[in-house]
Amino acid sequence: MNGPRTLWQLINERSLKGDQVDFGNRAMGRFCARYFFKPYYRSLAVIIIISSVCGSGAFVYSWATQVIADDIVQIHSGVSSEHVDRLPGIVSEGQVMPVVEAYIDPTLPGESRLFSSSSYGPADEQVPSGAIGLSNQLDTRYGRSVHEQMRLLGGIAALLIAMELARHLVRYWVQIRIIWIGQAVRFRLRRHLYTKMMALPQIYHDRHSPGQLMTYLFSDIQIVIGSLSSLIKVVPTSILSLIVGVVIVFVLDSELAWLVVLALPAYVVAYRWFRARLRVVNSNLREREGRLNGHIANRISQFLLIKSYHRESRETADFVRQAKPILQNHLAASILTSGFAVLCGVIMGICMTGVLWLGVLRVREGQMTIGELLMFYGSAGYLITPATHLAQMFTSFHKVRVRTNRIMHILDEPIMLKEPAVTVPIPHGPSALCFDNVSMQYMKGRPAALDGVSFVLPAGKRLCVMGPSGSGKSTLAKLACRLYDPTGGHVQFDGIGVDQFAIPELREYVGVVSQEPLIFSGTIGENIRYGSEDAPHKSVIAAARFAQIHDFIEEQPLRYHTPTHERGLALSGGQKQRVILARALLYDPKFLVLDDFTSAVDALTEAQLVDSFKSTLRDRTTLIISHRISIALECDLVLMLDDGQVVQFGHPHTLLNKDGPFIDLYHEHNKRAQTA
């Protein structure tokens, strides 16, 4: 019982997102319209028309079967021509023409069952009960000569060969065209999605792991384009074939056609039952894959930490724990898809068996010829096949629907940092930074990171922001750069709100050295040039000298072409910080943010950086976040934060003469220096 019970639980799993899951019908429609129908509507119209016509060409084989059976082989129901020749008054040389009424007595054995009405006399009552009349069983048309039959057969063969040649050539063109459109859409979609990811605010990337975004950018797009390409080829062809097949079977035999048509609701009922379960399975599968990719990306980036704590086996077990439900979702999807295909095959088999059974009875009763039965049976098969294809395509449809919903969710994500309707020119030189009662709350229900912060940093001056961890120092720096917009108050440069400047101009005006040194794979020179690719080599060297990293670079065999490897593994923490400092100085911003940029450097290097402050930071407004008293004493102003609020603000030497956290920090620093 455990096996069937587990299987039932797999295919009836509840959604991971509860009742709030959105399967994105409208999102899929907007996606197809934006990336397929509008840009390539002419090509798609031609592809759909040609594919539909080629698909409907299969009914030509049913017509050819009827012609071959009735006009070439001349298969007739009831009796053979050998028996007909023995009937009185029937001539069978080249034609079949019943002159007298002929009967078959099924109660008599062998050829003795065949007789004419002259054997019993003219009276109808002399005919034995149960005898079957042949007047309706024999074809009254003149038979074709052998020459005519072969010529007709050759014409049909030539037609079918020409049709198949044309169909395959057209299908080849359609396939090439669909591949080209798919590649174009894939490139365009990835470009749009990557551009949107770059434009989304920092708060969005804080809430979404790189692994999930990589899944959207590569895996989801690959599946969506491949599945939609198949749907474009299969769905229109199946719909037209379904319509043509319904018309043909109703023209041939309207009563028998209802048996075929009545089988279609069975597909609908089966589709609805499987659809409800498969869309939940696909949604859960997609959600779990995104989570696992994010988990893998996070763990690989922290490989040193895993090694340090000997967590390899535990991480492997954790990976298996998260991967197992994905395998189960794949299994459930395969079971549902295969089960639906089997059910469709059963429905089709029952329907075709009924068609064959009733068709044979109609042939025996003389209501249709064998050729017409063969044509009806073939047409019914071609009619049910596209219906089966349409029903089975719902698997791909739900995969596409779930993934297009995710993709469109990113593309429709509002950019919270909106460009102003009317922009104000950015200042050309250093400007004063003003925080006016600024508050920042990342998420509702959580404490504010900043609460009512107000201060003014004059143009060209240096401000050191200090405070315990979690006091809001990095948040303040991010607001000054407009990586976020405050939830309250105003951030201004020279009295103009930062939200009034064009974002590209603001990014060029502001430079950031982040707390975590971010190094790309490449060379040291490429990392310094990032953002200033056109800068001459002399400027690169000058920036490296100011950042106290030039001497180290010159000691390397490849100098500025020295590889940094993944995440800068070839560099120490302090070397990384100096490289990104050189990058920011080469960028030459008029407003510079240094977020704890000396946390990983030694005392000698820190002293050298402090000595170069006056020349390095000349003609730029600088906001420095640091825990070092030596850095604070070289600044023009100091801002002390605690729990998101300003507790002290002023010149460092003035604050040394007042009670407060700054003088306490100064004394603590001196004690550590004396005991060191």
Q: What is the CATH classification number for the domain harbouring 244? A: 1.20.1560.10
Backbone angles phi, psi at 55, to 5 degrees: -65, -35
Query: Which of 509, 530, 510 is closest to 519 using CA atoms?
Result: 530
Residues 598, 463, single domain; the answer is: yes
pTM score, two decimals?
0.63
Q: Are residues 266 and 299 in the same domain?
A: yes
pLDDT value, residue 434: 93
Does any domain span residue 338?
yes
β 102-104/114-116 pair status = antiparallel
Cα separation, 500 vs 423, whole angstroms: 5
In a domain, 106, yes or no: no
How many CA within 13 A on the CB side of residue 239? 8
Long-range (24+ apart) CB contacts under 8 A made by 532-539 are: 532/583, 532/586, 532/587, 532/588, 535/586, 539/586
Residues 6+ apart with CB under 8 A from 399: 223, 227, 282
Whether residues 37 and 173 share a domain: the answer is: yes
Same-domain check for residues 192 and 182: yes
**Strand positions, DSSP E, 494-558:** 496-497, 510-513
Strand partners, 237: none
Q: According to the model, what pLDDT value does residue 435 have?
A: 92
Which pairing describes strands 637-642 and 462-466: parallel, antiparallel, or unpaired? parallel
Give residue-wise pLDDT tens across range 554-612: 888 888 888 887 666 777 777 888 888 888 888 888 898 888 777 766 667 777 777 77
Give dist(CA 78, CA 410) in Å, integer.
70
HEC profile of 165-193: HHHHHHHHHHHHHHHHHHHHHHHHHHHHH
Q: How far is CA 213 from CA 6, 207, 318, in A?
A: 33, 11, 21
- Cα-based torsion angle of the residue sequence 138, 144, 150, 151 in order, rounded to the nearest 10 degrees: -130
Residue 639 is predicted with a pLDDT of 92
Q: Tell me how far apart the alpha carbons of residues 662 and 647 are, in angstroms, rounded to a whole number.
A: 10
- Going from the first residue of the chain to its last (676 residues), give the mean pLDDT of each consecutive group of 10, the final group possibly shorter: 60 62 64 85 85 78 82 59 44 44 47 46 48 45 69 87 87 87 87 83 73 73 81 80 82 81 77 78 78 75 68 81 84 81 81 84 81 82 73 70 80 77 85 91 82 90 88 88 87 90 87 80 86 86 86 87 76 81 86 80 71 76 87 88 89 88 85 70
For position 319, what pLDDT does the model report?
A: 83
- Tell me: do 264 and 354 sit in the same domain: yes
Tokens matching residue 169? 């050539």
User: Do residue 276 and residue 353 come from a single domain?
Assistant: yes
pLDDT of residue 140: 43
Q: What is the pLDDT of residue 101?
A: 46
**Residue 48 domain-assigned?**
yes
Pair (361, 284) in one structural domain: yes
In whole angstroms, give the CA distance from residue 108 to residue 22: 72
CATH number at residue 473: 3.40.50.300
Answer with the one of 367, 393, 424 that is the final residue of a domain: 367
Of 350, 382, 416, the residue at which a domain comes to its end is 416
Give the β-pairing of 591-595 and 510-513: parallel
Q: What is the pLDDT of residues 219-231, one digit of tens each?
A: 788 878 888 887 8
What total number of domains does the chain contain? 3
The reported pLDDT for the residue numbered 2 is: 52
Residue 323 in domain: yes
Looking at the DSSP assignment, which residues form a beta bridge with residue 295?
none
Q: Is residue 200 part of a domain?
A: yes
354, 264: one domain: yes
Q: Is residue 169 part of a domain?
A: yes
Determine the Cα–Cα distance for residues 607 and 605; give it in Å rounded to an integer: 5
Of 239, 181, 164, nearest in space to 35 by CA = 181
For residue 444, tell me if it sits in a domain: yes
Range of the domain at 277: 254-367
Q: What is the pLDDT of residue 456?
A: 92
The verdict on 158 and 68 lying in the same domain is yes
158 and 273 belong to one structural domain: no
Same-domain check for residues 200 and 259:
no
Both 52 and 200 in one domain: the answer is yes
Residue 379: inside a domain: no
